[in-house]
Amino acid sequence: MIGSILALVLFVGLDSTPPRPLLDLLEDAEAAAAFDYSSLGDVERLSELDIAVQQEVERRTAGARCVTPAEQAVLAGLSTASAAESHDTWRADRAAAEHHLARWRALVGTVLSGEEVQADDLANARDWVEAARDARTPRLAELFRRSAWDQAWRGGYLDGPDGWAGDVSPGVMQRINRTIAAEGCRQDMENAVWLKGELDAHGWFRISEHGEDADRAAWLIVQHADRDPAFQTEVLALLEPLVALGETRPSSYAYLHDRVAVNRGRPQRYGTQGRCTSRNVWTPRPIEDEAEVETLREQVDIGSLTEYRTHMSGFCAHYDG
């Protein structure tokens, strides 16, 4: 396969479709993970291949599903190869990332099993594990376990040398974060499928019946079900009357309202959704009414936008575009 890929890349050239052997790798997770993408040419050629594969994967997923392990391996392999200083650097980064990810998965497994371990990045997951252990019913225990999985993977993101993996190279960090994002996405969608069934059968986890932790855990799963905006929209409509009844937190409704709006390409209401726009600067996405946003935030008890912006900007300390 290596020879056929090289022949296509070096002598045929590129159009909008990746060479057939690369398309084959998109279907074979084991081969995709083992392949040496740094061997496919110079930086310019690797960048072209990277763009072509990205477009192909976007066409396949159409925003409706997560990337597969094979697709993720090819995407990560090409993007890191095109940015690496040399073939040797790329290979060393891949080995280091695999080592760190194996260590991370083992740590996550330890925390999710309920064992005591020092892991600040997994503090939120550990709290949900404890909630599952103390749950009154099997249904609540499963809800809390799924929230623990949700938070465990999000604890794995790296944005600088202070993370769980230490001071790693940009190539290693990119590989780790891409893997965390892909595996976390698949977990998010498994959680959403489970929660859909629960809501269809039993309705929302109302505070008066199940407690605030259950309400928050269920919201967390919905909030992260970005590959299923229709489900998020359905739950938003479900929660709206429950806010007035005190059966769900107003803040949960506000965050989900903004998430649905942004995912639908509309301005948000409360200014909860944003992105890093430069180092130490977080900027909210477009807001419906800038003049009223602080009043609206106060009504749902989520603090001022000024304070929130300052807090979120702390996550942009290592942003480099």
Residue that is written with structure tokens 């008890």 in the block: 301
Q: Is the pLDDT of residue 252 over 50?
A: yes
User: Per the structure, how many domains does the chain have?
Assistant: 2
Q: Which of 23, 53, 83 is the last residue of a domain?
A: 83
Query: What are the tens digits of pLDDT across the range 71-112?
Result: 999 999 999 999 999 999 999 999 999 999 999 999 999 999
Q: Which of 83, 98, 128 is the last residue of a domain?
A: 83
pLDDT score, position 11: 38
Residue that is written with structure tokens 């074979």 in the block: 28
pLDDT score, position 15: 53
**Which is nearest to 185 in space by CA: 19, 66, 299, 314?**
66
The pLDDT-based confidence of 16 (bands split at 50, 70, 90) is low
Q: Compute the C-alpha angle 179/184/186, nearest 5°.
A: 105
Query: What are the tens digits of pLDDT across the range 285-320?
Result: 999 999 999 999 999 999 999 999 999 999 898 887
**Mean pLDDT, rounded, of the chain:** 92
For residues 88 and 224, give the distance between their C-alpha atoms in angstroms, rounded to a whole number: 37
Q: Which of 54, 83, 112 is the last residue of a domain?
A: 83
Report the chain's terminal Cα–Cα distance, integer Å. Answer: 35
For residues 205 and 239, the answer to whether their CB atoms sit within 8 Å is no
Domain span holding position 69: 1-83
Residue 37 domain flag: yes
Q: Is the pLDDT of residue 12 over 80?
A: no
Residue 88 domain flag: no
For residues 91 and 50, the answer to whether their CB atoms sit within 8 Å is no
pLDDT score, position 17: 80
